[in-house]
Amino acid sequence: MYAVDVPWVASFYEMVAGLARTTTEPGYVILESPGFELAVVEIPAHLAQEIALATPAVRREDTPVKVAFFVPSIAHAREVASTLGGVIDPVDREWSFQGNLVCDGNDPEGNVLQLRQPLEVGDGGSA
């Protein structure tokens, strides 16, 4: 994933998605969980100067990729995301899918993501 502010975006995925920082080098950070690796790479300066970041971030919905992260609690991730400049959609936008409660959001730079929380047996989740 390319980012203008690598440390900021990497911290977001550490805190919201529970990924572990395994490598920090000039220009990139590697985050991992069992069976998954996310490389947050600095956008080259000549391209970064053309990117206008907003607060709150404008969701980049025109991307063909949406990464899903399994988290223990979407509610907790929502709270943490808001302190780190990201957004997880409100509770009324959650739905159930394949045994998980699901909700979309974006990181501080607008990259789209999805969070999935395992449903308890008998818990149908939100509409």
Question: Smallest Cα–Cα separation from 88: which of 16, 7, 6, 5?
Answer: 16
Residue for token digits 């909700």? 103
* CA 5 – CA 29 distance, rounded (Å): 11
CATH class of 2-118: alpha beta
pLDDT 10s per residue in the chain (127 long)?
Answer: 989 899 999 999 999 999 999 999 999 999 999 989 999 999 988 887 887 777 888 888 778 788 999 999 999 999 999 999 999 999 999 999 999 999 999 999 999 999 999 998 665 554 4
Q: Is the dihedral of CA 63, 68, 71, 74 positive or negative?
A: positive
* CA 102 – CA 111 distance, rounded (Å): 17
Query: Before 56, cis peptide (omega within 30)?
Result: yes
How far is residue 24 from each of residues 28, 42, 47, measured CA to CA in Å?
6, 12, 22
Question: In the chain, what are the domain boundaries?
Answer: 2-118
Instruction: Count Cα atoms within 13 angstroms, Cβ side, for 55.
Output: 4
Taking the complete model, does pTM exceed 0.85, yes or no?
Answer: no
